[in-house]
Amino acid sequence: MKKEVYYFFVLCMLSVFFFDAKAQDNLIILTETGTGYQNQSWFSSGRGNELQQDKIKKFWDEGKYITSAAYSSRGWFVTMARNCGYTAQRYHYGKDWPSDWILQCFNEGYYMTAVSSGIGKWFIVMSAGTGYTDQTWTFNTWSKDAEFIEEKWNAGYRITEAAKCNGKWLVVMSKNSGIGMQTYSMQSSYENLSSKAKELWNKDYSVQLIEYADGQYFMVAAQYNDGHEPQQSFNVFQGSPDDYISKQWDKGHDIAFVGGGYESPGSSSGGGSYAYDNSGNDDGIKTKTTVDPVTGIEITTTESPDGLVTITQKTPCVLCHGSGQSYIPGYSCTACMGSGYIVTTSSFYKSQGAPAGGGYANPGGSYGGYGGYDGSGGSGYGGGSSGSGSDGITCSGCGGSGRCTSCGGSGLMKGEYYYTGGDEYITNCPVCHGSGRCGVCHGTGKL
């Protein structure tokens, strides 16, 4: 079997010694139905940390194979599952691009099934049992890559992997991939990306992969030869994906692809983290998740057909930094009740406008939100309504009030933190750090 190897690529790989060391800012997760995967697992190393090779071995020993991998805001992020079709697997993890090793793997029936780069290293996964009959790649400026893709499409190859490194795109293309029609696009914002995805879904395409670099989303979509059209959902995170993944698993979705991405100096992704899906909306419910890139606050907005809007704000606990542990050994954090998160939920009818404040709830227990240091400790919603006009979108985190929904805008909370005399223990609100301002809109009430 003839393998097309481009030696200019090897020369380009020498630049890995000067690898772009910027931390990648995004974690992109694409989920879908009908993968056939069983007992899927995932793990992440944490930003700046080495790949957890011991975990790969552990899951290999359990009969699972790597199905996707990326370096992201969570460090190395790897998914593994049983029943993915692979019969054997090996990987390379190091600073050099292993051309000779890849050729050896080709000759033994292995093909690249995941490629990513981060912290100065390549992580290349090669699998047997893919069904591919040939594979080739390019690593160049995008204009050259585009010419390469067009040429290989005409020769029967289809894009199966992509990654960006040092200002150039690596594109892997394979034969006999099961993909019929295929298309790709570059989008400069998440809003454009989601609009393009909806357009493609309406044309019976399925999203295949999404990567991000230098303020651009690279999306590949395809129509499969067997005609299957999975229900899909994707989300772009800077915060934790735990809840999102659990909810997708509960709906019968598996993680089909994981992508990463980074910002170059002066570029902008538009900020935030968003979710979008084509899961049918049979019940008419619309859901969107965003994550503020500065604070890491995750907000999920759900709108039902009758106009009822529910906003859930999930904030990593600033006091315990998400650990759930108190500074006192053996005790749980009293701000988040040991959960590592502070969650605020409010509901209102769209026709009546958003509430001005909200209660305070938490997975580890629920209790009234402090309305300020006046001893009331009361929960409930204020009488204000959301702002309107053309000067911005009402902040869904605070309902337009600009106030921190955990402390009611006072900047103070009661709790077992610092003794100030008398009968009370008072501290600055661990969510707003005592400012009293909403962490999403930074006190403006607008987005």
CA-closest candidate to residue 342, choices 432, 444, 235: 432
The answer to whether 193 and 156 have CB atoms below 8 angstroms apart is no
Domain with 70 in it: 7-277
317 burial (CB, 10 Å; 0-12 / 13-18 / 19+) is: buried
Instruction: Report the C-alpha gap between 343 and 139 in whole angstroms.
Output: 44
On whether both 299 and 237 belong to a single domain, the answer is: no
DSSP string across 374-434: TTT---S--S-----SSS-PBPTTTTTS-B-TTTTTSSEEEEEEEE-STT-EEEE-TTTTT
Instruction: Report the C-alpha gap between 145 and 158 in whole angstroms.
Output: 13
On whether both 355 and 242 belong to a single domain, the answer is: no
- Measured in degrees and rounded to the nearest 5, phi and psi for residue 26 equal -125, 155
On whether both 261 and 313 belong to a single domain, the answer is: no
* Diameter of the chain measured on Cα atoms: 82
Run of H or E residues at 187: strand 179-187
CA 323 vs CA 117, 143, 231, 277, 334: distances in Å: 29, 46, 35, 31, 12
On whether both 306 and 332 belong to a single domain, the answer is: yes
On whether both 273 and 301 belong to a single domain, the answer is: no
Helix (H, G, I), strand (E, B) or coil at 268: coil
What is residue 414's predicted lDDT score, i.e. its pLDDT? 53
In a domain, residue 444? The reply is no
The answer to whether 30 and 241 have CB atoms below 8 angstroms apart is no
Instruction: Report the C-alpha gap between 86 and 114 in whole angstroms.
Output: 13
In a domain, residue 242? The reply is yes
On whether both 243 and 350 belong to a single domain, the answer is: no
Instruction: Report the C-alpha gap between 185 and 202 in whole angstroms.
Output: 16
Instruction: Report the C-alpha gap between 125 and 53 in whole angstroms.
Output: 12
What is residue 257's predicted lDDT score, i.e. its pLDDT? 97
Instruction: Report the C-alpha gap between 446 and 441 in whole angstroms.
Output: 6
Instruction: Report the C-alpha gap between 128 and 107 in whole angstroms.
Output: 11
* Domain boundary, last residue among 277, 311, 343: 277
On whether both 206 and 295 belong to a single domain, the answer is: no
In a domain, residue 434? The reply is no
Instruction: Report the C-alpha gap between 123 and 432 in whole angstroms.
Output: 39
The answer to whether 404 and 431 have CB atoms below 8 angstroms apart is yes
CA-closest candidate to residue 203, choices 178, 228, 179, 222: 222
Helix (H, G, I), strand (E, B) or coil at 70: strand
On whether both 27 and 105 belong to a single domain, the answer is: yes
What is residue 336's predicted lDDT score, i.e. its pLDDT? 64
In a domain, residue 445? The reply is no
On whether both 298 and 266 belong to a single domain, the answer is: no
What is residue 423's predicted lDDT score, i.e. its pLDDT? 46
Tens of pLDDT, residues 304-319: 777 777 787 777 776 6
What is residue 277's predicted lDDT score, i.e. its pLDDT? 58
In a domain, residue 441? The reply is no
Contact partners, residue 417, CB within 8 Å, separation at least 6: 319, 334, 425, 426, 427
Instruction: Report the C-alpha gap between 145 and 233 in whole angstroms.
Output: 28
On whether both 273 and 295 belong to a single domain, the answer is: no
Instruction: Report the C-alpha gap between 51 and 93 in whole angstroms.
Output: 8
Instruction: Report the C-alpha gap between 399 and 409 in whole angstroms.
Output: 13
- Positions of the chain with pLDDT under 70: 1-25, 238, 261-285, 287, 289-296, 318-322, 324, 326-331, 333-337, 346-347, 350-397, 413-428, 430, 440, 447
In a domain, residue 210? The reply is yes
In a domain, residue 405? The reply is yes
Instruction: Report the C-alpha gap between 278 and 274 in whole angstroms.
Output: 14
CA-closest candidate to residue 445, choices 406, 380, 391, 368: 391
On whether both 376 and 231 belong to a single domain, the answer is: no
The count of domains in the chain is 2
Contact partners, residue 356, CB within 8 Å, separation at least 6: 381, 382, 383, 384, 385, 398, 399, 400, 401, 403
Task: Mark residue 15 as left, alpha or beta (left: phi above 0; alpha: psi -120 to 50; beta: remaining).
Answer: alpha
* Domain boundary, last residue among 224, 243, 277: 277
On whether both 16 and 97 belong to a single domain, the answer is: yes
Match 């529910």 to its residue by tokens: 310
Q: Can you read off the two tokens belonging to residue 404?
A: 């921190």
What is residue 360's predicted lDDT score, i.e. its pLDDT? 29
In a domain, residue 282? The reply is no
